[in-house]
Structure 1
Amino acid sequence: MSQGVEVVGLYVRDQDEAFAFYVEKLGFRVHTDVRNGDYRWLTVQHPDQPSFQLGLFTPGPPVHDAATAQALRELVAKGAMPSLVLVVDDCRAAYDRMRARGVEFTQEPVERYGTVDAGFRDPSGNGWKMIEARR
């Protein structure tokens, strides 16, 4: 029997805003975008990882009540959620390319631990660490 992780969910404040950020600024592709009433299942994929999807979900019904959804939105906006990691071939080149597309970085590329890394946040406040793959 084969098993694996296919989708990891990420809370965002606005799915259209997240769609624009992940597709237009980071270069991800849309995998699934379907609606069921007010609920929207939106997933994107990195072009080099076709078997993995990042779910861009808003806190709220049908999963969360109003109070829980608001608490989650506030935590995300404060950057309290764990950082995600994006691996790139050349951190400095990716930093320059992404800055030109309007990505706001929280940390410029720094060389440490035998590699180069930088930090940025998505429009909802989710933290990302961009790390250069070791050669």
Structure 2
Amino acid sequence: MTQKIVLMTLVVRDYDEAIAYYTQKLGFLLREDAQLGDDKRWVVVCPAGASETGLLLAKAQGDAQIAAIGNQAGGRVLLFLQTDDFERDHALYKARGVRFLEEPRHEPYGIVAVFADLYGNKWDLIELRAA
């Protein structure tokens, strides 16, 4: 049996502001944007080098989903964005206004820094050490 995770839902306040952030600030690609009716859309973004995984941006519906915006991991890092050049991407993201919550750290596994997306979800930008 072969299985893989291809999408993860990220609850957002507004489709267009989320698309703008992920494509303009982080350089993600807009893979899909289809109207589903009743103010619902199927919106998928992914890092430029991703071939199989992506984020399904879902506009919050109801109080529980609205309350989860920006805190889907309960204050922990939610997503890990692996790069092949930490210094390049860290400098680019800072220049584009991405808010880093810490200075880069050199760890046994690589270099990493936590940033917050437009809603406050925490991400690790990480370059793993070569094995």
Shorter-chain TM range is 0.7 to 0.9
Change (3 A) 1:74 1:102: closer
2:116 aligned with 1:121: yes
TM-score w.r.t. the length of structure 1 is: 0.83
Superposed CA deviations along residues 49-104 of structure 1, whole A, max 9, x for unmatched, are: 121121111221xxxxx23233323745x963642101112222211111111111
Q: Which runs of 5+ in 2 are unaligned?
A: none
User: What amino acid is the match of 1:126?
Assistant: N
Percent identity between the two aligned chains: 35
Are 1:15 and 1:56, in contact at CA under 8 Å, matched by a contact in 2? Answer: yes
User: What amino acid is the match of 1:71?
Assistant: A
2:46 aligned with 1:45: yes
User: What amino acid is the match of 1:115?
Assistant: G
User: What amino acid is the match of 2:83?
Assistant: V
RMSD: 2.1
TM-score w.r.t. the length of structure 2 is: 0.86
Q: 1:88 aligns with which of 83, 86, 97?
A: 83
Are 2:70 and 2:121, in contact at CA under 8 Å, matched by a contact in 1? Answer: no
In 1, the alpha carbon distance for the partners of 2:124 and 2:26 equals 13
Equivalent residue for 1:33? 33
Change (3 A) 1:110 1:59: same
